[in-house]
Chain A
Amino acid sequence: MNTGARRVREWLIERAIQAAGAMAIVFVLAIFAFLLRDALPVFRETTVRDLATGRTWLPTAEPPKLGLLPLLLGSLYVTIGALLISVPLGVACAAFISEVAPRWMRETLKPAVEVLATIPSVVFGFLGLLLVGPWLAELLDLDVPLFAGLGSLMLAFMAMPMIVSLSEDAIRAVPMTLRQNSLALGATQWQTIWRVVLPAGRSGIIAAVLLGMGRAIGETMTVLMVTGNAAVIPLGLPGFLRPVRTMTATIAAEMGETAYNTPHYHALFAIGLLLFIITFAANTIADVVVRRSGRTTR
């Protein structure tokens, strides 16, 4: 048999597989490098300080005003609002599925949540724009049916499947014996959930929240369609009821009409870079938290 040729072929295949394995790292670095490459020239026009603290975003003015503060705060508002809704609801739903729901319900709820996760974000944007926004505007007596809180609400429901399913995994991973010990001490089922199960699953839940946050801050189409896109700095609680513009929406709305290699183009890449760094941090911290929890529960 031609074993020599076979050996060479296998060697080649295995090197190819190895290369594919390392591909993920290459891609992460490549994304970072390309964002950096097209973002850095923006500093010919402005400084980090002006970008971070500038209160006006008028990229097509002459000279362009490239203040990211309104966009940063816009993203922050929408994301925090989304987390305020989705974290308590999502964790409660996860606890319900894992600890309380009767069996048949558990088996219906999990796939239902998964189906929810498949709905495209543009559809959530569409439904917010045509259905939920007008309805809420009437209910709250608002002039404009596009506002930060609407973005938060739609995002909350989009981030929910991820938060529910990851938290549920974390809660389910809590050893049965801990529950039994708590019950044996005379705790009710709820006391056991509240005082033992949730604290024991804490790191997994925190990771779920971080990943949900990363998802919310990076979400594009929904916020683009429902938050009104006014690049103004949101203030206080009423800020939730006024239009805002997020970082993602700015890129999506403006990149299509921007000329290559203009300050505007570079500024949009700078926003992209900032988004990449924020989500990278959220994901890495979540990953570390999960790994650490894996060690302590054992």
Chain B
Amino acid sequence: MKGTQSMHRPQRLGPRATQAAAFAALWAAAALVLLPVAAILGVMFVRGGRAISWELLSSAEDGLLPSIVGTVTLVALTAVIAAPLGIAAAVYLREYAPRGPLVRLIRLAIVNLAGVPSVVYGLFGLALFVTLLGFGRCLLAGACTLALLALPLVITASEEALRQVPERLRAASFALGATRWQTVRRIVLPNALPGIITGLILSMGRAAGETAPILFTAAFIALTKPFPSSVLDPIEALPFKLYYMATEAHGITEDAKWATASVLVGLVLTINLVAVITRARLRGARRW
């Protein structure tokens, strides 16, 4: 091109160079958010993977089995408590609640529940379930505390799933003379189920990794009775075990620590993976 004034003026290099620099910085930021964590998790899995043995996983005396069983039981009981409450609350908010100050207040409460520090849940669990209700430090007290922590997650996910159900399905049901509850039970809930279950499993993934809420409500180390036989028995739990091994224990090999950390992250990731697969499966079966 000959005359290159105006349209291709050299001083336009200013904003262009700025843009190039800024975009480079954005790329770098994205890399910095992910790569360091990916790297240290990679180190953990490599070291942990080398150290994991069947012996370590399955031994009830100095292996991880009691912790794994404890965490799985704890999370299952948590789900049993949190699911009905959370789903019912979501149904209320989405299907029943009139718009107004009450709903506004409920939503604010949910946001705040989600933001309460996990150790404060621990204190609450200690004061209410362990002491006042007299459960003692046990499976049930821990599950109640974790259920409370998971509740806002379950409500939010369920509400989102209910929102996905097309309005025309409800309208069609009402048009056939169904009551609101009949519509909810026969039309809305079945159609929202994949989303609800996925949300529930994801919340349990979060609960499985929590340590602070069970510190004073459920978890022990090296119990003489490693597996609980009732909900009022104390339990061992994987995150608490990892904390203990990393900070307080003596005479534990580095290998065992890395292996424990890998098992915990592996468990949490597996739970999340199950959620994703469930969603895909149930979605595939749905036609609307």
Contacts and interface: CB of A to CB of B under 8 A. Distances in A.
Indicate if A touches B (C-beta under 8 A). yes
Interface string A254-298: 011000100000001100100110011011101100000000000
B227 to A, nearest CB: 22
Given A14-B96, A160-B33, A252-B119, A130 B246 contact: yes
Contacts, number: 253
A34 B181 CA distance: 35
B26 A95 contact: yes
A113 B34 contact: yes
B19 A219 contact: no
Interface string B202-219: 000110111110011000
B272 interface: yes
B152 interface: yes
Contacts of A113: 33-34
A160 B30 CA distance: 11
Interface string A217-247: 1111100010000000000000000000000
B115 A255 contact: no
A43 interface: no
Given A118-B209, A120-B209, A21 B264 contact: no
Interface in A117-141: 118-123, 125-127, 129-132
A194 B22 contact: yes
Contact of B246 (A27, A109, A194, A225): A225
Contacts of A255: 122-123, 126, 215-216
Nearest to A248: B119
Contacts of B247: 129, 225
Interface residues of A, number: 84
B85 interface: yes
A256 B240 CA distance: 13
Interface in A79-137: 88-90, 92-93, 95-97, 100-101, 109, 112-113, 115-116, 118-123, 125-127, 129-132
Contact of A20 (B23, B33, B36, B92): B92
Interface stretch (B38-46, B59-67, B161-169): B38-46
B152 A215 contact: no
Interface string B23-63: 10111011011101100110110000000000000000000
Interface of A: 10, 13-14, 16-18, 20-25, 27-28, 30-31, 34-35, 37-38, 88-90, 92-93, 95-97, 100-101, 109, 112-113, 115-116, 118-123, 125-127, 129-132, 157, 160, 164, 188-191, 193-194, 211, 214-215, 217-221, 225, 248, 251-252, 255-256, 260, 268-269, 272, 275-276, 279-280, 282-284, 286-287
20 contacts: A10-B179, A20-B91, A21-B106, A35-B123, A37-B127, A120-B210, A120-B211, A121-B209, A123-B209, A126-B246, A130-B254, A190-B22, A218-B116, A220-B119, A221-B211, A251-B123, A255-B216, A279-B116, A280-B115, A283-B111
